[in-house]
Amino acid sequence: MVKKTINTIPVIPNILNNFLISKNKFHKNTYFLQIKALILPFITIFVSNRLQNERNKMSKPTIILGIESSCDDTSAAVIKEDVILSNVIASQKVHEKYGGVVPELASRAHQQNIIPVVDQAIKEANIKQEEISAIAYTRGPGLLGSLLVGTSFAKGFSQALDIPLLDINHLQGHILAHFIQQDETKKTATPQFPFLCLLVSGGNSLIILVKDYLEMEVIGQTIDDAAGEAFDKCAKVMGLPYPGGPHIDKLAKKGDSTKFKLSKPQVDNYNYSFSGLKTSFLYLVRDEVKKNPNFIEENKADLCASLQQTVVDILMKKLIKVAKELKIKEVALAGGVSANSALRQAFLDLSKKYGWKTYIPPFSFTTDNAAMIAITGYYKYLNKEFSPLTDTPYSRVNNVLK
Ligand code: KG4
């Protein structure tokens, strides 16, 4: 085989030679020209390589792997820009018989679920691990033991793939779920900034002013229990399985919402309270069962409908107050309790009455899921808001969501 001689190699001694001659002759101009000729090819190669790398980066779509493990759902999702490719959720049945989430059992179940769930999310998204641009994980608020599992996994995986980490506030995730697109070709309308978001879940009841994707302020919040917690605890009193919210919703459809009068809180500002309602429900049932042991069975649907209507009235009253005072007409609903049919209906009815433009997420994005973590990660990625390996999980919510 004939070896091809590369032209540039013999050129170098020639240049050096010329350089020496020219130096001897003190031909300054020639001297600089020779130096330039010597280093120019290297500079050109270096610059063109860098440009090519940048071009590759820019043409590559941003793919985010999201990981959620704040409570009792282990979830992983993949999104490409703002379009969802997969969203896998492993719910933990182990808590059902205890009537609530047992933190220790939740973290153990997360440990068992996390690898298969991430693996399935990547497979369903039909991507290779090397295509992932960054990993977004829920840092808080939530159960610390549960959060630690997702956080540690995300850190390890990001190190293995040599890609950045994005720490996500779970509540921001619930709100930005409104920006997840399901179909690249048919994009749906998203809320316009600034908008108000009523975020109601098992652990939180908040009214949030959303100024931009990553700029949010808590306007009001519960001073004790969350709306979902009230549903779940009252369901337990009636002997319904955990989580009780969906069971109450189903039974309430056949009940009379005016049958039982339950206590409504008097709380200042835009804050909520649900512990008084929970207690008044408990006392009502306890007193009536003393008189009639079959009281719960005979009145279950009416009890559910009355409780549900009271929760909806409490939630909507404060939301209307904030919307009026801040003069905002873009209003969104988020969190697990936003799956409630009476709340959704009240939301739609009030939007007509007050001229609001409303946004209700699809059912699959109401309860805890990693797609909402991934979309929040996408906006943080665009802002280059990466997080260090030293970040640790947090359990409580702040007034400014970051
Ligand atoms: O957002 P999520 O999945 O978890 C938390 O971050 O808390 O919300 C779970 C809560 C539970 O309290 C559950 O009972 C409630 O959402 N929930 C409902 C309904 N579906 C779920 N509450 C009322 N009606 C429903 N249809």
Quick one: fold of 63-182+367-401? Nucleotidyltransferase; domain 5 (3.30.420)
Given this chain, do its domains 63-182+367-401 and 195-361 carry the same CATH topology?
Answer: yes
Cα–Cα distance measured from residue 153 to residue 165, given in angstroms and rounded to the nearest whole number = 11
Residue 99: per-residue pLDDT: 76
Mean pLDDT for each 10-residue chunk of the chain (402 residues)?
39 44 53 65 65 62 98 96 97 83 94 98 98 98 96 98 97 96 93 98 94 96 95 96 95 98 91 96 97 98 98 97 97 95 94 94 91 98 97 82 70
Q: Where are the domains of the chain?
A: 2-53, 63-182+367-401, 195-361
- pLDDT (0 to 100) of residue 7: 40
Q: In whole angstroms, how far apart are CA 385 and each of 41, 168, 298, 378, 402?
A: 37, 10, 56, 10, 11
Q: Which atom of ligand 1 is nearest to the CA of 73?
A: 3
Where does 60-102 have alpha helices with state H?
none
- For residue 300, the model assigns a pLDDT of 98
Q: Output the pTM of the full model.
A: 0.83
Given this model, what pLDDT does residue 351 score? 87
Q: Give the Å distance between the CA of 234 and the centre of ligand 1.
A: 13
Query: What does the alpha-carbon distance between residue 172 and residue 216 come to, in Å, rounded to a whole number?
Result: 8
pLDDT in the model for residue 45: 63
Q: What is the pLDDT of residue 6?
A: 39
Count of CA atoms in the C-beta half-sphere (13 A) of 46: 5
Pocket-forming residues, ligand 1, beta carbon under 6 Å: 71, 201-203, 228, 231-232, 243-246, 249, 335-337, 339-340, 367-368
Nearest alpha carbon to residue 110 among 50, 55, 153, 172: 153
Contact assessment for residue 205 and residue 222, using Cβ atoms and an 8 Å cutoff:
yes
Q: Give the number of other CB atoms < 10 A from CB of residue 237.
A: 19
b/e string for 166-200 if b means 16 or more Cβ within 10 A?
bbbbbbbbbbbbbbbbeeeeeeeeebeeebbbbbb
By C-alpha distance, which of 197, 182, 117, 124 is closest to 154? 117
Domain 195-361: homologous superfamily in CATH: ATPase, nucleotide binding domain (3.30.420.40)
Among 233, 367, 395, 396, say which to mutate for ligand 1: greatest number of ligand atoms within 8 Å of CB.
Answer: 367
